[in-house]
Structures are given as structure tokens and as C-alpha cells.
Structure 1
Amino acid sequence: MKIINNKKIIGPILIVLPKFIGDVINTLPALELLSKLYPKQSICVLARPYLCELLKKTTISNLQIIEDKRDAAFQKQSLLSLAKYLKSYNFSLAILFRGSLREAILCRLARIKLTVGYAQNLRSGLLSHALKLNPCHHYIHRYCRLVNDTHGQPFNDYSLPTLVPSPLEKALPSNSILKIGLYFGGENKGSRHYPIGLSQQILTQYADQFPCHFYLFGDKTESKDNARLQQRCTDKNIQLTDLSGATTLPVLIDYIAVMDLMISIDSGPMHMACAVNTPCVALVGFGTSAWSSVEPKNNAFKVIRNTSKSLIEANIITSITPKSVVIAGKKLLER
């Protein structure tokens, strides 16, 4: 593979981002490496509209955000129209952090000669620099390789993903009350969803031991599940604020940043907590990726893995006991 000489790249650079929050957070170290290689050039990140605000929480100064509206509910953009728009930038280099064939076709249609990505999904012939994917590598490592290996390995290591929160407009209770953020997902999360009955037991056990206020996070599709949990907590006189569907992505990050503790399933809020250095307990059942490849690299983090022998995927996470979650959280709080 021919090494890319960064001194010969004079035009802007295109980065095609993944579709999911956690994956995008895991690309931040690679974006930082790229910014170090090209400090004076525009690094244009092609991102789904709901992810654009998240990218403004980074410390990378030379990022330019381009909205990818191909999957938008309204004013959907075609592949050809997006390619025509990207062509007007005259990109010198494109790096695909998403592994689909469609992204490689997009860059070919946009006439980008240097295109970097993994040799997967029948797209090797469309890439100028096709790397072999090692599935044992962590996602962060995978994204960094696309930058580091193709430029002759100028870096020996990378920094951890970091997001910079903003002050909340609404003040939360005083520091004497423990603030615990919760994301258990809804039925839309399938086998990753932690059941309402077990979730209630976690809250009850914490409330019995500490003066605390819980903040329940989720999107609009999870509001029904969260409302049921809130009702159970109201009956037990547990202080809980349900923020389901009530926050934008940046505001959600700001809330997570001021929590004393975050409890989350394997999903975007877990990665957000680690990126703002909020102590986090993760509940890992049957996930969408191998856990070893997505586990956050953070010292203020504890994972409770399932011990299930169930052949029913939705039941695997139920082997995680509320008591084990409470014990893990208390250890983080003591630190």
C-alpha cells in the first residue's frame, strides 16, 4: 500500500462518519490524529443530522460539518445529488469510517481519487487504500488505523474520546443529593433493554441507602417504557425526573456530565458518560457488537456482564442482578 504524504494533500479532507452515537464517539481519537496531521486544512465530516450537534462538543478546531440527509424523514437527499454537492469541494482525500459499499460509491461519484477504508462489502476496487479489517481490534483502534497506517504510522498511541459539556440552563439539586442518571433503553433496544421490574429494584436499593435524585434518559420511542418506570417509582416515593424525549443530543450530554453516577445499558449514553468522565456502570446483555471491541476505555467505569445460559436473547440481560449494579455503583462513588 502506497503511503499518503500529508504534505502533498492540499485540499480539504472528507470523513464519512458511522450512523450511531457510540460509534461516532469512538471516531473522535482518529479525528484528533487527523487534525494533528492536517492542522491548517478543513476536515469535513459527513454526518447524519442528529449527530451534527454532538460534533460541536469536541475540541477539534478545524472540523467542518456537512449534513448527510440521505436517510432523513423529510427532504431526503439522493446519492447522486449528495455526490454532486461533495464534488464541488474538490476533496483531496476521503476516509470512510463507515464500512458500507454505498459510501465507497459516493466517494467515487464525487471524484475523490484518494479514498481510504476497510476492504469489506465488495468495495475494495473502489478504494485507493484498502486495509484488511482485524475484527479483534477495538473500534477506536480500527478508526485510528485508517489514519495512522495509511500515513506511515506517525503516531504510537491515541487519546481517549472527549466531549466538552456546557453549563445547564436549569440548576439541579445541591451536591448533598446524589444525582444518578439512568438509561435502560426501551423495547426498541431489543435484547439490550433492561426490564422495568429489575430497573425499579435498582432505584429502590439506591434510594434506601442514599439521599438521591434520579434522572431518566431516553428518546421519544422509549417514553412509554420510562413512564411505566416513573409510575412505579412515584408509588415508592422515589425522586425521579423523566427526561425522555425532552432533551436534544447536546443537552443530554450536558445532563450526563453533571451526574454523580450514570447507569446505562450498552448504548450511546454509556459512551457519552465516559467521554465527559462521569462514573458509569454498564449493563451488558446480548449486544450488537462484540463487547471487547466497544467497551469504553475509562478508569471511572465498571461493567456488569451477564452470566446467563439462556438461549433466548431477550432474557440474557436479566441475569444481571440489581444488587450487583448497586455494589458496582457504590465502588465508583467511593473513588
Structure 2
Amino acid sequence: MKILIWQTAYLGDVVLITPLIRTLRKCLVEAKVSFVGRPFITQLLKGYDINLYPFSKGLWESFEMAEKISDYHVAVSPHVSARSALILFFSGIPLRIGFDRSELSWLYTHRVKHQWNKHEIERNLELLKPLGIKENEWIRETKLFVDEQEINSLREKFNLPEDYIVLSPFSNFPLKEWYLQGWMEVASGLNISKVLIGTEKDAKKAEEIERKAEVINLVGKTSLRELMAVIAGAKLVISVDSSPMHIANALGIPAVCIYTSTSPSYGFYPRIGTYLVPSLECSPCSPNPKKCKSGHYACLRAVKSEEVLKEALKFF
């Protein structure tokens, strides 16, 4: 049997699909498992014995992908976009499993009920039930692979100390970002080396934090594998609701998550570590909010730095 997993969402979403990959490999040993995702999957999923199809979501590439995967027997898609449903439909894969909240969900042969108030890991694993895989067979832990050589090379390249924590203030969604002054206060209040991570687009905000607090600023300076090695070598990751939190847990590192507009009730919270949430009538807003519905943006400052420090200090 040839089984295709389709998840073309963000980095963190792919990390949270690794229990589904591991469960398939355990329960259907003879099956050939493949994965379609954004191009970063070749680095993120290094170490997994599966076939990877990098996909950039281009129009002609979509037609090519439908042809490329046409000989698969089963497709499992946690992704809920219309594009995903259409490509899988036109591929002709006979058994296509998706969520009932997916756009064009009627194009799937099997629709699984999508439920909030459940961790994304558990939600994804529900998609395996049409294949006869029961809950007592599920592997629920995320897993990524980084070896000691990668960690040691990273330490040497950036001259990192033996003990440090990672600060991850940034997100693809601005309304998931806690206010910069809070990060400055947390960084100044922790008596341990702090490594600041993020992408090139976050460089200016990172420099602002660096001017006010003592941090090792690696924002925009690491490849994905190097980012994973930075996290793998840390004692703790303090993050907003974004992928570094999930990468940390997949590497066995605890995470403290600071929520603003989103909420752990949507199912994207650390399984190793803890989290802090705003106490506001309008909270939570939505899983991926683009603007404040109330207009006051109070959630961005609702969690206090002393609360974050209190939780962080429990881990080292």
C-alpha cells in the first residue's frame, strides 16, 4: 500500500504531524509512506524514512503534483484548503481522508469530524481511524532528529555558552506577538544566557530587544537545521504561539508559551512545559487572527513579564 500525507501549512503544523507519520510507520509496516509539504520539509523531516515531495504551491506545479502522486492508494490530509482538496481529487487517489471543516470537503471520500478543545496531535491522529488504526495504537509524541555533531558545530559557529535558553518573540501573525517591552523585561530578569531567534523580517525588532537587554542575537542568521540545533541545545524555550515551541517539544526541550490573541483551546500548546493566557472577555480571538475585533489590542500586553519569569524559573 502507498500512503500519502498532505500537509502544506506552516512549520509548526508539520512538526505536529510527526506523530501521525510515526503511527503509520508502526501500524502499517509494509506500507510506503510519502509526504507532500512546503520545501522546508527536506530539512525539517531529515531522519524520517519516508519519501518527501517538496511543494511550493505554484499553479503548474499543482498539475504536476497531481500526476506525480496518482499511483498512491490512500491520501491523508490535515490541511483544510480548497487547493489541497482539489489536487488530491484530480490525482485520482481512490481513498482520500480529510476533515469535515475542509474547504470542498465533499471531494474527500472519508470526512473526519474536526474538533476544537483537543490537541492538534490528537486531532490529526483521528484521520487514521478510517484506516482501522485505533486510539490505543497511536504514538502521541512529536519527534525531530538533531544529532550531537550539529549541536556542537552550532555552538562553535556562534560561540554559544554551555547553558542558555531560547527566546522566540516572533510569528507570521503579528497578533500572536507579545509586546517587545515584555521580552526586554524577561531577558533582563533571567540570570542565564539568552539566545534570540527569528527570521530576517524580524531583524529590526530583534535589534530593539538587543539594545535594551543582554541577548545573543541570532535572528536571521541561521538555517532551519541550525535553528533546530540552537533549540536542541537549550535548557528552555520561551515562545509565542509559533513553531519554535513545537520544535522544542519534538526535541525533548520544555517550552513556556505566551498567548496573546490565540488560546491553548485551539489545540496548539506545549505538551512539555506550560503556557500563560490573557484574562480578557474578548479572549480568545481566533486560531490565526489578522486584526483585533475589539480594536484595543489589549491581549498583546495582557500577560505580565513577572508571570513569565515565575514560570520560566521553574525549569532551570
Deviation at 1:312, TM superposition (A): 3.9
Deviation at 1:191, TM superposition (A): 1.6
Deviation at 1:22, TM superposition (A): 1.5
* Counterpart residue identity of residue 249, structure 1: L
Distance between the aligned counterparts of 2:236 and 2:106, measured in 1? 47
Where do 5+ consecutive residues of structure 1 fail to align? 1-9
CA distance 1:312–1:332, shift in 2 (3 Å): farther
* Counterpart residue identity of residue 25, structure 2: S
Which of these residues, 56, 62, 68, is aligned with residue 85 of structure 1?
A: 68
User: What SS class does the counterpart of residue 314 from structure 1 fall into?
Assistant: coil
Equivalent in the alignment of 2:55: 68
Deviation at 1:173, TM superposition (A): 4.5
Equivalent in the alignment of 1:305: 277
CA distance 1:174–1:246, shift in 2 (3 Å): closer
Query: Could you give the per-residue CA deviations for residues 19-48 of structure 1, whole angstroms, max 9, x where no partner exists?
Result: 111111111111111112322332110010
Task: Say which one has the larger Rg.
Answer: 1
Which of these residues, 271, 277, 283, is aligned with residue 252 of structure 2?
A: 277
CA distance 1:37–1:313, shift in 2 (3 Å): farther
Conserved 8 A contact 1:266-1:284: yes
Distance between the aligned counterparts of 2:180 and 2:270, measured in 1? 25
TM-score, normalised to structure 1, is 0.82
The reply on whether 1:323 has 2:306 as its aligned counterpart is: yes
Equivalent in the alignment of 1:19: 9
Which of these residues, 201, 205, 210, is aligned with residue 185 of structure 2?
A: 201
CA distance 1:292–1:117, shift in 2 (3 Å): closer
Distance between the aligned counterparts of 2:224 and 2:248, measured in 1? 13
CA distance 1:313–1:143, shift in 2 (3 Å): farther
Conserved 8 A contact 1:262-1:280: yes
Equivalent in the alignment of 2:291: none
Which of these residues, 265, 275, 281, is aligned with residue 291 of structure 1?
A: 265
Q: Could you say what the CA RMSD is over the residues aligned between the two structures, in angstroms?
A: 2.1
Distance between the aligned counterparts of 1:174 and 1:27, measured in 2? 32
Equivalent in the alignment of 1:218: 198
Q: How many residues end up aligned between the 2 structures?
A: 298
* Counterpart residue identity of residue 323, structure 1: E
CA distance 1:312–1:273, shift in 2 (3 Å): farther
Alignment of 1:1-335 (within 5 A): 10=1, 12-57=2-47, 60-61=48-49, 63-71=50-58, 77-87=60-70, 90-121=71-102, 123-147=104-128, 149-156=129-136, 157-166=138-147, 167-168=150-151, 169=153, 170-171=155-156, 172-175=159-162, 178-185=163-170, 189-206=173-190, 210=191, 212-233=192-213, 238=214, 240-287=215-262, 291-298=265-272, 301-308=273-280, 311-312=294-295, 314-333=297-316
* Counterpart residue identity of residue 22, structure 1: G
Distance between the aligned counterparts of 1:110 and 1:127, measured in 2? 12
Conserved 8 A contact 2:66-2:88: yes
Distance between the aligned counterparts of 2:277 and 2:89, measured in 1? 42
Query: Could you give the per-residue CA deviations for residues 151-199 of structure 1, whole angstroms, max 9, x where no partner exists?
Result: 2343414331011223321335454xx412111116x532211222221
CA distance 1:82–1:174, shift in 2 (3 Å): closer
User: What SS class does the counterpart of residue 259 from structure 1 fall into?
Assistant: coil
Distance between the aligned counterparts of 1:271 and 1:313, measured in 2? 29
* Counterpart residue identity of residue 154, structure 1: K
- Greater than 6 Å deviation, 4+ residue runs: none
Conserved 8 A contact 2:257-2:269: no
Conserved 8 A contact 2:116-2:265: no
TM-score, normalised to structure 2, is 0.87
Distance between the aligned counterparts of 1:189 and 1:47, measured in 2? 20
Where do 5+ consecutive residues of structure 2 fail to align? 283-293
CA distance 1:97–1:127, shift in 2 (3 Å): same
Deviation at 1:309, TM superposition (A): 5.1
